[in-house]
Each structure stands twice: as structure tokens, then as C-alpha cells.
A and B are shown apart, each in its own frame.
Chain A
Amino acid sequence: MNITAQSLITSLTEILGSFAFLGPELMLVLFFLLIVALDLFKSKLIKASLPWVALTGILISLISQIYFLNNIQGKQAKIFFSGLLITDGLALYAGLLFSVAGILTIVLSVLSKHLQVKFSGRGEYYAYILVLLAGLNLMAKSVNLLMLFVALELVSIASYLLTTAIKKQQDAMESGLKYILYGTLASGVMLYGMSFLYGFGGSLSFLDTAFWANLSRLDSPFFLVIFLLTFAGFLFKIAAAPFHFWAPDVYEGAPAPIVAFFATAPKIAGFVVIIRFLLQIKNNLATTLQDDVMLLVGGISLLSLVIGNFTALWQSRARRLLAYSSVAHAGFLLAALAALATNSIEAVLFYLSVLLFMNFGIFLLVQVFEERLQIFDIKGLAGQGKTYPLLGVLAIIILISLTGLPPTAGFTSKLLLFTNIWQNYSATGNQLLLTLLLVGLLLTGVAFFYYIRIPYFLFFKRNLNPEKKVVLGREDIVLAFISFPLLLFFFQPAWLTELIRQVVLYSI
């Protein structure tokens, strides 16, 4: 009893101490509550200030994350809350990206017409964004299966609600429902897989070496089934095949800022979790099983690349095209991770950072075209580049970056990714990696076709029914602001790679 009390006190002290590491999440939750409370007031002024309150919350969270990141040199990763969570470079960097994504989401929301006029759920909308961010942060920090599931569900539920934020919109509701149903399936499958992991591994903490040692004893096929089932939830979050089916519908139905967020932040969180898992597999699992995992990841990557790129060719609506391109991006990233090598983390993180800006840029464009210029499919873009030259040029920068051509950061990120795969192929001689490299390169060419259609229509087609010109002051400024890093990180990639290198050093 005494021992129990002793341990209880120790645990409590540990838990109390752990709150110090939970600063950003606590900030977000605090502001969530504040917004919910403020939303009760009927004052228009207060309603109008809600985005800014949310923005303040995210900014404070961001500052605390930067504070943590600032002195990471020589520090060790810290596990807290009795082995539920971890604070390390990976989690903190992911948190940084989440915050940036959150800020951009709110900026885009402020610019969005749909989210201002006749929009009753403002308070909830911004509150959900904060909760979603808190969930993502927790997800990136989870090292416990149960904690991971809870964080993942927190993210999912907030996502479902945000998808249906504009309740009056028919397809928003429809896609929200699909999202919930499909998400439930993915969660269920994952939970099923996790239960097997717990059963055979004897632990919920996947940092536990014993956990992996136990699993190493399993038959290869059986382990793979468990692994695949568990991964279903992660693949759902990163929108990789075969769990990508939600993406096109949700991308089409949800508000543009939210879609931009979905295409970025949950994907980053999902990849952080996958990286954690794969690193553990690499370090602790039996080698025979490792090879199978490699094959599996490579297979998922191939499937995602093929389905994402080829299906994108057939899309006429920008949002669906971007959904499939998002699947393709997941494929590219998985291709780098298939080697199960520590050195690929840097390339993946660089790619994800650049993807963040590209996604928000392209969805701001989508939002501008849809809400301000009433253009919904790619053919409608004909000749608009000449009417809005600045917008057109920025669109070209963003699309070239998405394709992966110089002089944009998109090129640098793809270059780093492919170089990394080539390095790992040279080191291991694994034919799978070579296949992934070649397919990836080929499909970059395919990607060129569907991306380049947009500038082609913007500049080379004639606008047959010219309309009144709309003034796009704020949108242009924000877009230029988002496009700037795309050029900057092409000419100065070292500024980002250096940070990422330190971050990775600080991770487990």
C-alpha cells in the first residue's frame, strides 16, 4: 500500500511536471474554451473578433513551440505523462508546421466569402480549428497506442465537423457524412490492428523494446496482417491508397481553407506517426520482418503514385484534381520512407514543409476562382491569366512548384527526395527502391501534364466571355506572401535544411 502510495505520489508529481511540456496544447485548449464562451455573446463586434482570437491562440502556441525548438541543441527527447507522450524534435517541428497551417487556414477563412456572409457557425468553426490543432499536436507526440488512437479520433471528429461547417450547403453535408462513415471504417480497422499489437506485444507503448521483441516472434504473414490493419488508420490520415477514397469527396465539399488544412496538417501528423513506427521497426524488429515491411510500404507507395497521378489526369474540376494529386504526394513521401532509413526523414520533412505552402497557395487560388470569379472547372480559367496578370504569375509559380520544376522549392524538395532514394538504393542495392525511383520520376512527368493544364488555360486560351474585372487586393498580397517561400527555399534551401537537420538530431 505504501509502495502504491509512493508510486502514486511519484506518478502525480511526474504528471504535474509533465504539464510543462504540454504548453502549446494547453494554450490551444484554453483559447478553444475562450472562443466557445465568447461565441455565447450576441455582440457583432465579438463575433467579428473571433478569428483574431483564434489567431492569437495559435500564435501564442507557435511562440511556445519556437521557444522549445530554440534550445534543442544537445537536448534529449523527453517522454512524459507516464510514457503516453514524447517531446522531441519531430513533434516540435510538426507542431510548428501545424501552427503555420492553422494561421494560414484562419487567414484564408477570413478572406473566404462563404465563411463570412450568412455564416452562423463562426464560433464553432474557429473553435474546432483550435481543437483540431491540439489533436494534431498530441498525435505527433503520442508514443502510446491508446493515446495515439484518442488523438487520432480527436483529429477525425474535429475534421468531420469542419467539413460540414457550412451546413446549408448540400454537398458539404453529403461529403461530411461520407467522411464520417469512411473515417469510422478506417478507425475500426486500425483499432482492430492495434488490439492485435497490444495482444502480441504485451504493451501499449510502442517505444518499448520488449514490445517489438515480442512481435518479432510472430510469423511473417500474420505480423503483416496486423501491421497493415494498424496502418489503415494512418493511411486514411495521409490520404494514401487504398484509403484515399474520402479525399475527392471531402475536397469537393468542404470549404477551401479547410481543404487546404486537410491536405497538409493531418498528412504531416500521419507521417510523423508513420516515421515513428518505421523507425522503431528499423531499430527493434527482426530483419526478416523488416524486409516485408519495406515491401509493403513500397507497395502502398506505388499504388498511391499510380492511382493518384493517373486518375488526376481525368479530372476536370480543380478540387478533385488536387485531391488525387494529394494522394500522389503521399505516394512520393512513402517512396522515400520505404527504405526504412533514418536519413530519409530530412527529405520527407523538407517535402512536407514545402507542400504546406504549395497547398495553401493552390487552395487560395481555388477559393479566389470559385468565390470571386465564379469559376469551378479548369476550362473556365481560359484567358484569366491575361485579365489578372499578377494572379496568373503567382499561379504559375505555385503550379510549377507542385509539378516539381525549377526555380521553385517544389523542385528542391523532389530533388532531395529522389536523391535520398537513390542514395539508399546505392547503399542497399534494393531493387524495390530503384523501381520506386523510376516510377516516381516517370509519374512526375505525368504530373506535369495535369498541372500544366491550369497555366495553359490561364494564358494560352482566349477568354470567350469576358466579365467585369474584380479587384483582388488582399488575395494577391496573401498569395504573394505564400508563394515567396516557394522561391526562397529554391534559392536558399540551406536555411530550411539546417533547421530540419537539427530537429532530426533531437529526435529518437
Chain B
Amino acid sequence: MNQVAAPLLTPEQNSLALWALLVLVLPLIAGGLLLLFGKKLTRQGDWLAIAATGLAFFLSLYLFFQVWEKQAVHVTWPWFQLATGNTSIISFTTGVYLDNLAVLMLVIVTFISLLVQVFSVIYMHGEWRYHHYFGYLGIFTFSMLGIVLSDNLLLLFIFWELVGFSSYLLIGFWYEKDAAVLAGKKAFLFNRVGDIGFLFGIFLLYTYFHTFDLILLKNAIASGVNQGNNFLFPAITGQADAITLSYTWLTLAGLGIFCGCVGKSAQFPLQVWLPDAMEGPTPVSSLIHAATMVAAGVYLLSRCFPFFTEDALLVIAIIGGLTALLGALAATAQYDIKKILAFSTISQLGYMVMGMGVGAHDASLLHLVTHAFFKASLFLNAGIVIHAMHHAAHEFSDEHSDVQDIRNMGGFRKILPFTFYAYIPAAAALVGLPLFSGFLSKDAILTGAWGWAGFKSQNGNLLYYVIPVFAFGSVLLTGFYMAKHCFYIFFGESKLYKEPELLRENKTAEASGLLLVPVAILAVLSLAFFFSLNPFNYAGSWVMQGVSWQKLLMEQPGLSGGLLPAITTYLHEASYISLATAILSILLAVVGIWLGWLSYKKAVAAGGLSTITAPTSGFSRLAYRHFYLDAFYEKVIINPFMRLSGGAAAFDKNFIDYSLNTFAKIMVVLAKLIGWVDRWLVDGTVHLLVKVAGVTGKLGRFMQNGKVQSYYIFSLLGLILLFLYILAF
């Protein structure tokens, strides 16, 4: 089968694949060593983890320059074989697929992983289980790279689960805290819900096309002809005859795969685990729950883009738009420094998913890349702030105040100026201000959404415009909550701790260099300049061109057929959309920031900054509680389920166990009875026999008294006894 996939495999491609495998296993080896022997190594082996990741990063860079815009490498190896009933053998292959997207992701994952690990050296310093932390990070990095490199869905699913597992370990890293344990469990379970759909989708695809190989699947699907309700596939690999597949089932298969994305990328309605996941260490939030793992869903959508029918894409767009809006709304009502960022992440992931849904595939991936950098930067900045707050709280022996509540902060602009200046570009990028990376990608997605709505509503159905409206609304909200975030933390006066020195590392340095350098690098990378030479126009972005659907999918959009080219054409015709989007998004962002400023002013004026209470007004309470989604799940799913299991347990206890216990009691009583009989009758008989034997033996010994005279007497007595015995008979 693999001759189709890799007909021209040069030695160079082979060696590239091997390098890629090395990149994959380096973090695993380091992680495994740390978990096993970390305690015995110098500095608990953090240098080993960083060195391994650094090496992986440089190898990724090498691979990037070898592959980017040059070639796609697909190398497969036989994996395992299954015999079927009729003597034929099903072979499974495994392999490495390196294209523009894969090498880009390699670089991002290893790079941010490296920065986060450097950051963690200070942040996690003195932590009990320090080496475990780095070990887990190694395993996570390995799993994430596995997803990126896999060339087939089965292997990808395995790494997908490994990512979920390492995420579980890291969220629950502080397992002494109940909240961390619960959050880890919640994340794990919610991901499993999505994975059920994912598996369903994989199985459907395998049933139809008899392969897990992404490239083969892509080729097979590209040959499909849309016949309205059916697709006709003339020649699928390994099958002689043409087959007809139902449109509905293919849509369902695509939606199944999308379920995996919903779970991992925290889309509505499974997004509730992500805010709770903030219980993990902040660098973990930065790496996993902002930059990489949650983006895996979007990566999956890109890889599987040809498998989505138009209807499937519509669902994806709706879910994405809804998630973007809900996330942004929830973020406006939060006061926890990390929670705001978490909800913002949900919102941004919503953007990306919506982008995929509306056919802005390239824009989505661009946003994935830019978001990875600025969100990682924001989290690390938040980490520095939290670190400072902890430091001060420790000095004051303050154990009651919430050091993560932004209402307790303030004035950090002067206390931690470097952090502030690193924070600003990242925040600006998130809000989508021009010159910053976020502007480019968000603009691209918004344009795509508008274009999609315009194209779709040509038949008069204006409902499609709901999606772009959601998206633009989210821009406004993003400006609002980020402005609040920024003002509360960095402006005004420090509320809890008046002495600025206590919040700093020392008088000269605000924080350790190992904390600041990663943040600085990421801040610089939030500038639009790095992603497009023209910071106002996404169209010229080298990233976007590299990961365009034409290149990644080899001009084969798959089941959605002519949708993507049609939207492109539509956008060309309606050229005003692009410009209007840019202006509108800037305007909305600025208004959002202005509103945020007003809200901050009002709060300061009301003096309510330091009152740590949950919001009382209707809507903000709704947003604060994340639209009562958790409560909804609690009431609708968890409680009935618990009641059901409680009932089952009660049935078990009151009926089954009761019967068993009663039976057991009867047996015990019976056994006691038998025991009594045994003790008194059986044992008694034995004891009696033993006594008799003993007495007889003693008699024999008594006769043997050593005197010959008595021997005479006893012998003669014996004779007489024998004689009498005969007479008696």
C-alpha cells in the first residue's frame, strides 16, 4: 500500500524522517529519565529536559528549512498485520508526514516548550516533585509532537490520548489541592466525551476507505464525485469496484472527527474544563492550555479538512462562532488573572474553529500560530505577576487574600516595568490592534467569515450573517476584557501590598532573568512584522501562504468541493469586505478598550475595587458563572447519573448484598453448628482416643519398672489374663 503514498522516496527524505523521529523521542527520553532518576541528578535534572527540548527545537528548525515550501516528506513503515477470515491480510502502516504545517508546528511546539521550561526553572523552584514536573512536560511534548508527525489517524489518536493523559498529570500536579485533582479529572473526562465521537469518525472512515493513512484517505476522497445525496468513489485503493457513499454518513464521519476537536480545543459545549484547568501551574497553562495542546483540535481540523462536507463545515462554523462569543462574554465578568486568559483562550479557539468552518482554513492556521505566541506570552506575564504576588503574600504571611484576583493588584506598571512592556504587545495582539500579529490573523478570519456569509446568503437567507456578527461582537468584548485585565493589573496603586520592593525580586531586578527572557522573546514575536512583511495585510503573510489549503491539500478541498474556491472568488469580487473588516475590527477593538477603561474608572470611583464579591447584576452573573454551563451539566447529566448510580448502589447494597449477606450469615451459623459438632463430637472422640492411648502407654511404661521380680509377676499375670480371656469367649 505504501508505494502509492511514497513512490519516490529519496535517501534525503528518509533521513529527514529519521531526524523527525529523533525530535519526537528526545523529550520522551529526557522525560523518562527524569521520572525514573530525576531525584538523583544535579538540580533534579531540569538541565536535561531543557537541553533535550533545545536540541529538539534546533532539529525542528533544520527540518523546517529543509521542508518549508520545498517538499513534503512521507515515509511509512509496516506496523502490524491482521489476518482475516478469507486468507487475506490487512496491513497497517505507520509513518511520518512532514509538510509545511507539520514542520511549522514542530518549531512552535518545541520553541514554546523550551521557553516554558526555562521559565519554569524559576517559577517551580523548590517545588516538591520538581523533577516529576519536568518529566511530565517531556512526556507532553513528546505526545504533542507525535500528533504533529503522525501520518495516520490511528497513530494520531494514540498520541491524542497521550496528550490528554499528560495534560491530566500536569493539571493535577499539585494533587494536594482538591481543586487541582477535580480539575484534572474534569478535563480528562470531558476530553473523553469528545474522543468517543472522534473514534466514531475514525471508524466510519476506516469502514468506508479501509485505511487510516491520512494521505491515502485524502487521495481517495479527492476522487469522489458529488451526486447530491451521495458521493461516488470510482477507484478507492484496495477495492475493485466503484462505491457510492451516503452524504449523511460522510457528514456524520466528519462531525465525529470534529467531536475530538470540540473536546480538545474546548469548544461549546465541552469548553467547561478549560477554565478549571487553570489549577495547574501557570507555565503549564501557558504551554498546554493556551499555545499547543488546545490548538491540536484546530490542527486536526486542518489535517482532516477534506473529510468535511459542506454541512459539517456549517456545524463547525456555528459551534466555533458560538464558542468565540460565549468565551468572550464569560471573560468580561471574571476577575481571576488566569481565568480571564482561559476564557479568552476559549474565545480565540472559537475563532479558529469558526475560521475552519467558514472555509478560512489558512487564516485559522495563521491565528493558531500567532495566538500560540501571544497567549503563551500573556500567561507567562501573568505567571510573573502571580509569582510577585505570592512573594509578597509570603512576606506578609497573608494566607487569606486571593493573589490571583486582579482587583487585589494594581500599579504593576511601575513595580514590574519590564513585564508591563512585554505584556503590552501580547495584549495588543490579542485585542487585534494593527502592527501586532493578532490583527493579521483575526482580520483574515473575520474577512473569511464575512465572505462566507455573503456567499452563502446569496440565496436570500441572511441568517448566515449571525456567524460574522458573533465574530465581530467578540472583537469588541476582547478589547473590553483585555483592557480591564491590563488596567486592573498594571495601573493605579497596589491595593494589598503597598511596599513595591516586596513585589520585586530585589531592588535592582524586578524578576529573575530566566523569567523575563522567555517573556521578552514572546513579546517580540507578537509583532505582526514577523508574520507578514506588510503588517496591515494578511494576504502577503508567508505563514499563510505556506499553510494555504492549496498547498496542504494539494488543490484538493475534498468533500466540501467547490466551496473554498467559490468563497475566494466571491471575496475577490466583493473587494470592499476586506477593507471594511479591517476598519470595523480596529474600531470595535478601540471601542472595547474605551469601554474597558470606563468600567475600570467606574469601579475605581465606586471604590469597589477591593471588595471581592461575585457580581450581582443579572447578565454579569450569567457571564461570571460561565452561563451556568457547569451547573447545567451538574443538574442535567451528573446529578441524574449520580442518582442512577446511587440507585444502582442502593439496589446492590439492599438487595444483592443483603441476599448474599443473609446467605453468608446462614452459612456462618451452619458452620458454627458444624464446628460445635466437630469440636465436641469428632474432636472429643479423637481426644478420648488420645487419652486412652496415653493411659495405655503409661500402663505399659509403669509395668516396665526395671525390677525383674515385677517383670515375672506381670508376665504371669499376662498369662493368666490371656487364659481368662480364652475362657470368656
Which residues of A line the B interface, CB within 8 A? 177-178, 181-182, 185-186, 189, 221, 224-225, 228-229, 232, 241-243, 245-246, 248-249, 292, 295-296, 299-300, 303, 306-307, 310-314, 324, 446
Given known contacts A178-B708, A228-B719, A313 and B726 CB-to-CB distance under 8 angstroms: no
Question: Taking A242-B722, A446-B693 as contacts, is the C-beta distance between A311 and B704 under 8 angstroms?
Answer: yes
Contact A314/B708 with A242-B722, A245-B714, A299-B725 known, Cβ cut-off 8 Å: no
In whole Å, how far is A356's beta carbon from the nearest beta carbon of chain B? 26
Instruction: Please list the residues of chain B having a beta carbon within 8 angstroms of any beta carbon in chain A.
Output: 693-694, 696-698, 700-701, 703-704, 706, 708, 711-712, 714-715, 717-719, 721-723, 725-727, 729
Chain A nearest CB from B657 CB (Å) reads 44
Given contacts A300-B722, A446-B693, contact A185 B704 (CB under 8 A): no
Nearest residue, chain A, Cβ from B698: A314
- Minimum CB–CB distance from A300 to chain B (whole Å) comes to 7
Residue pair B704, A245 in contact (C-beta under 8 Å)? yes
Residues of A within 8 Å of B712, CB to CB, are: 182, 185
What A residues does B727 contact at CB under 8 A?
Answer: 221
Residue pair A299, B708 in contact (C-beta under 8 Å):
no
Chain B residues near A307 (CB, 8 Å)?
696, 700
Given known contacts A228-B722, A306-B696, is B715 in contact with A314 (CB within 8 Å)?
A: no
Measured CB to CB, the nearest residue on chain B to A323 is B704
A246 to B714, CA, bound (A): 12
Contact, CB under 8 Å: B718 / A295: no
CA distance A241 to B712 in the complex (A): 12
Query: How far in angstroms is the closest Cβ of chain A from B536?
Result: 94
Instruction: Give the shortest distance, in Å, between A191 (CB) and chain B (any CB).
Output: 15
Check A296/B726 contact, CB under 8 A, given A178-B708, A182-B711, A314-B697.
Answer: yes
- Residues of chain B lying within 8 A (CB to CB) of residue A242: 714-715, 717-719, 721-722
How many Å from the CB of B706 to the closest CB on chain A?
7
CB <8 Å contact, B726 and A299: yes
Determine the residue in chain A with the shortest Cβ distance to B689: A442
Instruction: Report yes or no: A245 in contact with B715, Cβ–Cβ below 8 A.
Output: yes
Q: A185-B715, A314-B701, A324-B700 are in contact. Are A228 and B693 (CB under 8 A)?
A: no
Contact indicator A311/B701 (Cβ below 8 Å): yes
Complex Cα gap A123–B708 (Å) = 30
List the 4 closest pairs (A to B, CB-CB), nearest first: A242-B718, A311-B700, A310-B697, A245-B711
Most buried by A among B696, B700, B711: B700
Q: Is the CB of B706 within 8 A of A249?
A: yes
Give 17 A-B pairs besides A232-B715, A249-B704 with Cβ atoms closer than 8 angstroms: A178-B711, A181-B708, A221-B723, A221-B727, A241-B718, A245-B704, A246-B711, A292-B726, A299-B725, A307-B696, A310-B693, A311-B697, A311-B701, A313-B693, A313-B694, A314-B697, A314-B698
What's the nearest-Cβ distance from chain A to residue B185, in Å? 55
For B714, the chain A residues whose CB sits under 8 A away are 242, 245
The contact sample of 18 A-B pairs, CB cut-off 8 A, is: A182-B715, A185-B715, A221-B726, A224-B723, A225-B723, A229-B719, A242-B718, A242-B719, A245-B703, A249-B706, A292-B726, A295-B726, A299-B726, A306-B696, A307-B696, A313-B694, A314-B697, A324-B700
User: A190 → chain B, closest Cβ, in Å?
Assistant: 12
Residues of chain A with a CB closer than 8 A to B721's CB: 242
Point out the residue from A181, A228, A249, A310 that lies within 8 Å of B696, measured CB to CB.
Answer: A310
- On chain B, the residues within 8 Å of A225 by CB distance are 723
List the B residue with the shortest CB-CB distance to A247.
B704
Q: How far is the CA of A182 from the CA of B714 in the complex (A)?
A: 12
Q: What is the CA–CA distance of A243 and B696 in the complex, to the nearest angstrom?
A: 17
Nearest Cβ on chain B to A162's Cβ, whole angstroms: 19
A446→B706 CA distance, assembly (Å): 25
Residues on B with C-beta less than 8 A from A295 are: 725-726, 729
Contact B722 A182 (CB under 8 A): no
Closest A residue by C-beta to B722: A299
Task: Enumerate chain A residues within 8 angstroms of B715, measured Cβ to Cβ.
Answer: 182, 185-186, 232, 242-243, 245
